Every structure is written in C-alpha cells, then in structure tokens.
Amino acid sequence: MNITTKQQAQTIQQQENANKVLTIALQQERDAVIEQQERNDEIERMATENAESVKTIIKTQPCAHTRLPQSVLDRLYK
C-alpha cells in the first residue's frame, strides 16, 4: 500500500507540474491574442484615417467631378 501511495503522490505531482506548464502556455497565448488585437485595431484605425484623407483629397481636387472606377469607390466606402 505504501508503494501505491507513493505512486499516487508522484502522479499528482506530475499532473500539478503539467498544469503549471499549461497555465503558463495559456497565459502566453492570451497575451499574444491581446497583442495581435491591438495591432489589428491600430491597422484598422490607420486604414480608416487614410481612407478619410483620400476622400478629402478627392473632394477638394478638380478630379472631384471625375468618376472613379467602382472598385475604388467600394474601397473608399468601407
């Protein structure tokens, strides 16, 4: 019975160690997801600003009365 208790204790210790490793890996994954989302948000913000700049330029330039290709208009509306 003493051997069984030792084996159980070893198994429990191994499981605890595995849980610690998994907890660290999970936290790293969470951090990576948060960092990627922040990057995505920044890219989206910059894209929106750039689209607004293009819209302003197009409206204020003489080409404002020239029809743009539909694909360009679709991108600007996004």
Whole-number Å distance between alpha carbons of 20 and 31: 17
Whole-number Å distance between alpha carbons of 69 and 44: 23
| Paired tokens of 15 | 């499981």
Domain that holds residue 10: 2-77
Domain count for the chain: 1
Helix axis angle for 70-77 and 2-60, nearest 10°, is 120
Query: What's the whole-model pTM score?
Result: 0.58
**Which residues have CB under 8 Å from 64's CB, separation 6+?**
58
**pLDDT single digits (tens) 41-67:** 999 999 999 988 888 887 787 766 777
pLDDT in the model for residue 64: 63
The four Cα atoms 10, 13, 15, 18 give a dihedral, to 10 degrees, of -120
